[in-house]
Chains A and B, each alone.
Chain A
Amino acid sequence: MNQRSNRLRHPGINMGHIDSATDEAAESLLFGFWIFLMSDLVLFALLFANYAAQSQHGTAGGPTPSSLFELKNPFIETMLLLASSFTIGLAALALKYRQDRARLVFWLAVTFVLGTGFIYLEVHDFVDMTSKGHGPQTSGFLSAFFLLVGMHGIHVCSGLIWLIVMMVQVFVFGLERDVKTRLMRLAIFWHMLDVVWIGIFTFVYLFGAA
């Protein structure tokens, strides 16, 4: 086993020689989590496909993507989410290389704030659209839009709850193995949400506004 402990066990942060017991335990946990993410990505793939169809054929004479979307807020949201991916990366590094709880929780908290900012802007836009009469009940296109973007938003919200739980657990339990593997899973979850958002920003907003 010992000579194996340095090999890469899963994509993402590996604990390697720093904490090989956690590394050992993380292997199949993270593998399982990647598979979960895969089925979650199937969810988004389907919502994208549905959006592609309904944004073309389901506008029902109402607003179309190009008449509706502005890029300012989505752009800020993108920046917030990208920054939060960076900060959760810093949290992962703090977890791996420094046994420093304060630094870890600091970066998790920054991630939380950035994520909350993202959700704030998104909800703000949703309310704004609805109050202008462009709610999800308006047309198939808008139903598909709200579902796709909203589903991503719900995922971000669950990530935020997860962040809170983890910050508490870091304080309550310290950096023990379960806490570490959970943080590792939270990190890849958060990165996946980033990837999905890049897809949304590109296909929904950039293509739509063009």
Chain B
Amino acid sequence: MTGEPLNYFWLGKLSLESLPFVEFIKTPNSSTAIAAFAAAAVIGGAIGIVVLLTLFGKWRVFWREWLTTLDAKKIGIMYIVLALVMLIRAVIEAAFMRAQQMLAVNREGPLSAEHFGELFTTHGTIMIFFMAMPFLIGLINVVMPLQIGARDVKFPLLNAISLALTAAGAVLVMISLVIGEFSTGGWSGYPPFTELAFNPGAGVDYWIWAVTLSSIGNTLTGINFAVTIYKLRAPGMTWFRMPLFSWTALCTSILIIFAMMPLTVATLMLALDRYAGFHFFTNALGGNMMNYANLFWLFGHPEVYIVILPAFGVFSEVFSTFSGKRLYGYHSLVFATIAITVLSFGVWLHHFFTMGQSANLNAAFGIATMLIGVPTGVKVYDWLLTMVRGRVRFTTPMLFSIMFAITFVIGGLSGVLLANPPIDFAVHNSLFLVAHFHNMLIPGTLFGMFAAYNVWFPKMFGFRLSEKWGRISFWFWSFGFYLAFMPLYALGLMGAMRRTVQWFEPQYLPWLLVAFSGAVLISLGLISQVIQLWVSIRNRDDLRAPGGDPWDGRSLEWSVSAPPPEYNFAVIPEVHDRDAFTWMKQHGISYTAPNEYQDIPMPKNSVVAPLIGFLATMLGFALTWHIWWLTIVSFLVILGTVIARSFCRDTEKIIPASQVRQEHEQWLARVKGLIPTARADETTSENQGLAEVAS
């Protein structure tokens, strides 16, 4: 993929061969055909979006209501849309990998080794940085400010900039499909393989800048969320009245603040090695890749808790809401979350037990790793006990949560096995490991996000999602998961290594076939979710929940209309209980008009964030291809934008009290007209978002 540069000054290392179409014409085979097809899909998708926006004349709305908005809820929704788009791509890639491995027993599969390497690298990188992270950050943006009774996050513009940086990283990963290639170094990007000596192409550079941009965005988000939770809680919202989801949001933010930096440092050092001839991780002249391994996993282990804690928060809300009961063991759940947060910084070494430290050190980290199982176990019991004697409703979110509780324990057990250094020596880097971490990430993070998507969708858009298609997607995902990943435990124990493009062991074949069938079911699950969205949008009039409380919710976000007004609360609520909204409902003070309304200052829209997002994309692209003039220009313009913004003083608008009053009273009148729904009718069109109050 490296041809003659077209024009080094203006276009850097770009050449005609950077285009997969040219590559395909020069060496036509199944692998280059798939690459050319993927590139065409990206271009087609981009053109499609432009055409649709133009056809429907939505550019202005898109710009004014979405791109330039500083409303945390809308920023959150954009994060989630980004996550879903990237999820689709990464699942397609996973299906290709499963197909390749199934077809490549004792013969060559359809994909070249290079191409397969790109697939597991983009799949892993996307799933972690551009699916899991944006999904949970988007969710926190939508839910957390409402839950703690705040109008917005503390730094709304910073919030938009974080999204822009993450999106810029994602765009780079997408561009790599069309121009050049992506890294083959795995999501962990270990040197020396990713050093210039072994990987001179643009792939690793794409990976470096995509990950760097998103990690900077995440760090800013972590700071933003933490300050929001510390400083903007409504009166009466003491620490131990804070809903568990917000607790997990806080702990995740703290993890982000401390753990993202090691990643940023590692990728920047790798960049210095590659661009400037430094010797941090090279084989020669005093470089040492162990420093990279330590830095990467100093980030990497806390990262797995960054992506799991918010899901734990979601499950806590779901188990209690859909059992119609107060959360069991609230305090123990909070302390378990804190314990996990602290412990997660002390175990990173278990990712490289085999890489040369002393047995005693391994033992210490092995024990620390097993310790994390304790608070996690506490949580599982709390969730189970929340259901005991509750009136459990098996809705889609609840199904995902129960499947999580069962499956996650299996994954946890295989994790405790791996925490034993002697066992890890036997199965390290095998498909056993791949089975283990998918066993945590899919039922944990992903099902958590799916549950959340089903629970909070009506809050975001004012109508529920189709329950029927939700359940169908649940069953596909669950069976698909078991079929796709349980065989990998067996394969791993039989000696199959991860990241392998071709096998020479015929006895792997049956297991690989089963795993592929699982991937097919998972794809059907994903398709059902697309259908679910489509069907729900079409039937939205039947699914409306303007009352804003379709699930008899317990925390403050359910006390406002759906979708909530830009300023969240007409009047900042007073919190009296851990289940703040349930308390209000029981005391008959929900849906009441306050004595007086006040003007509400809110941030004005700003072009800064989309501008920075665009420039950061340019910057990453220019760095990747060594286009120095563009690097300098885009960097300077970013700097100039930030400085210019600091001179801009017209950043706030006032929403007049009269408007707040009018909107609120209108909604209250609407709620008065609704018929309270019994829980039994929750998933029928009776449910318009006003819950029957249990006596």
Residue A73 CB within 8 A of the other chain: no
- Interface check A5, CB cutoff 8 A: no
Q: Is the CB of B646 within 8 A of A165?
A: yes
What is the size, in residues, of chain B's interface with A at 8 Å between Cβ atoms?
A: 39
Does B155 count as interface, using CB distance less than 8 angstroms?
yes
Alpha-carbon separation in the docked complex, A161 to B285 (Å)? 36
Q: Given the complex, which residues of B lie within 8 Å of A182, measured CB to CB?
A: 646
A contact face: mostly helix, strand, loop, or mixed: helix
A60 and B646 contacting across the interface, CB-CB below 8 Å: no
Complex Cα distance, B227 from A35, in Å, reads 8
Report B264 CB to chain A, min CB distance, Å: 8
CA of A16 to CA of B265, assembled, Å: 38
- In the complex, the answer to whether A169 meets B647 with C-beta atoms within 8 Å is yes
- Does A31 sit within 8 A of B, measured CB to CB? yes
Inter-subunit contact B260/A31 (CB<8 Å): no
Would you call A178 an interface residue if the criterion is a C-beta within 8 Å of the partner chain's C-beta atoms? yes
* Chain A residue contacts of B643, Cβ below 8 A: 161, 165
The CA-CA distance from A161 to B276 in the complex, in Å, is 25
Q: Please, which residues of chain A bring their CB within 8 A of the CB of B232?
A: 28
Known: A32-B154, A35-B226, A50-B280. A139 touches B257 (CB 8 A): no
What is the distance, in angstroms, from B522's C-beta to the closest C-beta of chain A?
36
Q: A39-B223, A57-B288, A139-B285 are in contact. Are A147 and B278 (CB under 8 A)?
A: yes
Distance to closest chain A CB from B296 (angstroms): 12
A137 touches B276 (CB 8 A): yes
Min CB gap B151→A, angstroms: 14
Taking a contact as CB atoms under 8 Å apart, the answer to whether A143 and B288 are in contact is no
The smallest C-beta distance from A53 to any residue of chain B, in angstroms, reads 6
Distance A144 CA – B223 CA, assembled complex (angstroms):
28
Given A58-B286, A147-B269: A137 touches B279 (CB 8 Å cut-off): yes
Cα–Cα, bound, A22→B277 (Å): 48
**Is the Cβ of A58 less than 8 Å from the Cβ of B647?**
no
Least CB separation from B222: chain A residue: A39
Chain B contacts for A71, CB-based, 8 A: none
B219 interface residue (CB < 8 Å to A): yes
Q: Report chain B residues within 8 Å CB of A116.
A: none
Measured in the bound complex, the distance between the Cα atoms of B619 and A24 in whole Å is: 38
Closest to B259 in A: A42
Q: Indicate whether A172 reaches chain B with its CB closer than 8 angstroms.
A: yes
| Nearest CB on A from B293, distance (A) | 12
A154-166 near B? 1/0 per residue, CB < 8 Å:
0000000100010
Q: How distant is the Cα of A37 from the Cα of B646 in the complex, in angstroms?
A: 20
Instruction: Name the one of B258, B273, B279, B286 contacting A39, with C-beta atoms under 8 angstroms.
Output: B258
- Residues of A near B51 (CB, < 8 A) are none
A115 within 8 A of B: no
Q: Which residues of chain B come closer than 8 Å to A173, judged between CB atoms? A: 649
Q: Does B295 contact A (CB under 8 A)?
A: yes
State in angstroms the CA–CA spacing of A54 and B289 once bound together: 11
Residue of A42, A59, A173 contacting most chain B CB atoms (<10 Å): A42
The 0/1 profile, CB within 8 Å of A marked 1, for residues 235-277 of chain B is: 0000000000000000000000110111011000100110011
Task: Report chain B residues within 8 Å CB of A47.
Answer: 265
Neighbour of A31 across the interface among B231, B285, B291, CB < 8 A = B231
B573: interface (CB < 8 Å): no
* A60 CA to B154 CA, complexed, in Å: 49
What separation, in Å, do the CA atoms of A46 and B265 have in the docked complex?
A: 8
Which chain B positions have C-beta within 8 A of A146? Answer: 278
For A, the interface residue count at a CB cutoff of 8 angstroms equals 37
Residue of B nearest to A166 (CB): B646
Give the CA-CA distance A60 to B288 in the complex, in Å. Answer: 11
Q: Is B287 an interface residue (CB 8 A)?
A: yes
Q: Are B286 and A46 in contact (CB under 8 A)?
A: no
The minimal Cβ–Cβ distance linking B99 to chain A, given in whole angstroms, is 41
Residue A43, interface by CB 8 Å = yes
Alpha-carbon separation in the docked complex, A143 to B232 (Å): 43
With known contacts A47-B265, A169-B647, A182-B646, A140–B288 Cβ distance under 8 A: yes
Tell me whether A31 and B278 are in contact (CB under 8 A).
Answer: no
> Which residue of the partner chain, among A38, A141, A165, contacts B286 with CB atoms under 8 Å?
A141
Tell whether, in the assembled complex, residue A35 and residue B257 are in contact, meaning their CB atoms are under 8 Å apart: yes
Q: If A31-B231, A36-B223 touch, does A42 touch B286 (CB 8 Å cutoff)?
A: no
Closest residue of chain A to B224 (Cβ to Cβ) is A32
Contacts of B262 in A (CB 8 A): 42, 46
User: B residues 150-206 with Cβ under 8 Å of A?
Assistant: 154-155
B window 264-317: CB within 8 A of A: 264-265, 269, 272-273, 276-280, 284-288, 291, 295, 298
Given A39-B258, A53-B291, A143 contacting B227 (CB threshold 8 A): no
Cα(A141)–Cα(B291), bound, Å: 13
A54-B223 contact given A32-B155, A46-B261, A139-B279, CB 8 Å threshold: no
A43 contacts across to B, CB distance below 8 A: 261, 264-265
Q: How far apart are the CA atoms of A17 and B492 in the complex, in Å?
A: 68
* Residue pair B272, A147 in contact (C-beta under 8 Å): yes
B154, B226, B286, B639 — which one has the most chain A CB atoms within 10 A of its CB? B286
Contact B286 A60 (CB under 8 A): yes
CB of B288 within 8 A of CB of A53, answer yes
Give the chain A neighbours of B646 by CB distance below 8 A.
165, 169, 182
* A-contacting residues, B536-566, CB 8 Å: none
Any B CB within 8 A of the CB of A6: no
Cβ contact within 8 Å between B649 and A178: yes
The answer to whether A137 and B278 have CB atoms under 8 Å apart is yes
| Bound-complex Cα distance A93 to B353 (A) | 54
Which residues in B have their C-beta under 8 angstroms from that of A27? 231
A42's closest neighbor in chain B, by CB? B261
C-alpha spacing A143/B288, complex, angstroms: 12
Closest to A35 in B: B223
B287 engages A58 (CB within 8 Å): yes
Answer yes or no: B230 CB below 8 A from chain A CBs: yes
- In the complex, which residues 15-64 of chain A have their Cβ closer than 8 Å to any Cβ of chain B? 27-28, 31-32, 35-36, 38-39, 42-43, 46-47, 50, 53-54, 57-60, 62
Proximity bits, A65-95, B CB within 8 Å = 1, else 0 = 0000000000000000000000000000000
Extra contacts, 17 of them, besides A32-B155, A42-B258 (Cβ < 8 A), are A31-B227, A32-B224, A39-B222, A39-B257, A42-B262, A43-B265, A53-B288, A58-B285, A60-B279, A136-B272, A137-B277, A140-B280, A140-B285, A140-B286, A143-B272, A143-B273, A165-B643
Residues of B within 8 A of A (CB): 154-155, 219, 222-224, 226-227, 230-232, 257-258, 260-262, 264-265, 269, 272-273, 276-280, 284-288, 291, 295, 298, 639, 643, 646-647, 649
Sampled A-B contacts (26; CB under 8 Å): A31-B227, A31-B230, A32-B223, A35-B227, A35-B257, A38-B258, A39-B222, A46-B261, A54-B286, A57-B286, A58-B279, A58-B288, A60-B279, A60-B285, A137-B278, A137-B279, A139-B286, A140-B279, A140-B285, A140-B287, A143-B273, A146-B278, A161-B643, A165-B643, A165-B646, A169-B647
